[in-house]
Amino acid sequence: GIQVEQSPPDLILQEGANSTLRCNFSDSVNNLQWFHQNPWGQLINLFYIPSGTKQNGRLSATTVATERYSLLYISSSQTTDSGVYFCAVRDIGSRLTFGEGTQLTVNP
Amino acid sequence: KAGVTQTPRYLIKTRGQQVTLSCSPISGHRSVSWYQQTPGQGLQFLFEYFSETQRNKGNFPGRFSGRQFSNSRSEMNVSTLELGDSALYLCASSLGWRGGSTDTQYFGPGTRLTVL
C-alpha cells in the first residue's frame, strides 16, 4: 500500500509565526486530504487537495502530484491552531492511509 | 446539514466483553468508514460500508465486524475485548462515489473505548 510520511513530527511556534508542514507519499494518488485533530479527538477537514493550490483564510495547501508531496502552510499562527495535523491519501477503495501527523504547539 | 454523529462518546468495558458502536453519517452520504486510532499504531482503517455492503476491509481480526442499515447508519462490533482494543474509534462518511471532491471524507467526534 501507499506510504505516507509527514514532517516535522513536532513543531513549536510563537503566536504570529508562520509554518510549513510537509507530506510525502509513495505512489500517485487522486485523493489527498489535510485534517486538524482537535484536543477532543475530532478530525476537522481542512482541505481536499489531490493537486494544485487552495487557500482558506490563514491556511493554504499545495499538492504537487507529479512529485508526490503536499504542503500545508499556516500563517500568523494562533494558539487555537495547536493540535495534530494529518495528511491522508486514498489508497485501496475508499480507504484513507494517514501519515503519523505533525504535533503543532503554538505558544502565546 | 448535521455532521457525522457517533454514540456513545465514551465507553468503559472489561476484557472479554463485547461492544457495539454507532455512527450516523451526514444526510445523503452512503459510504461509512471506520478507523481505529491508538498512540502506537496511529490511524488505521477498519472497514468501509456502502449501500449496506462491506466494500473494503482493513487488516483487523474477525473480532471486529460491522454492518450498515438501509438509512446508511452503521454499527461496528468488537467481541471478546482485549486490553489492546482501547482506542479512539472514528467514523467517517462520504458520498461514496470514488473520484473527485465527492470522495471527501468527513469524520465524527469519535468513541473513546477503554478496556480494563
Q: What is the pLDDT of residues A9-59, one digit of tens each?
A: 999 999 999 999 999 999 888 789 999 998 889 899 999 999 999 999 999
Give the pLDDT score at A71. 98
pLDDT in tens, B40-89: 899 999 999 999 999 889 999 999 999 999 999 999 999 999 999 999 99
Who's near B4: CB < 8 A, 6+ residues apart? B23, B24, B25, B26, B91, B92, B93, B106, B107, B108, B109
Instruction: For B25-91, give the secondary structure using H, E and C.
Output: CCCCCCEEEEEEEECCCEEEEEEEEECCEEEEECCCCCCEEEEECCCCCEEEEECCCCHHHCEEEEE
Question: Do A41 and B104 lie within an 8 Å CB cutoff?
Answer: no
Give the pLDDT score at A91. 73
pLDDT in tens, A70-105: 999 999 999 999 999 999 998 766 789 999 999 999
Question: Do B103 and A98 lie within an 8 Å CB cutoff?
Answer: no
Give the pLDDT score at B100. 57
- In terms of Cα–Cα distance, which of B35, B74, B34, B33 is closest to B52? B74
How far the first Cα of chain B sits from its last, in Å, is 37
List chain A residues with CB under 8 Å of B94.
Answer: 94
Question: Do A93 and B56 lie within an 8 Å CB cutoff?
Answer: yes
List chain B residues with CB under 8 Å of A45.
Answer: 104-107
Distance from CA of A85 to the nearest CA of B (A): 12
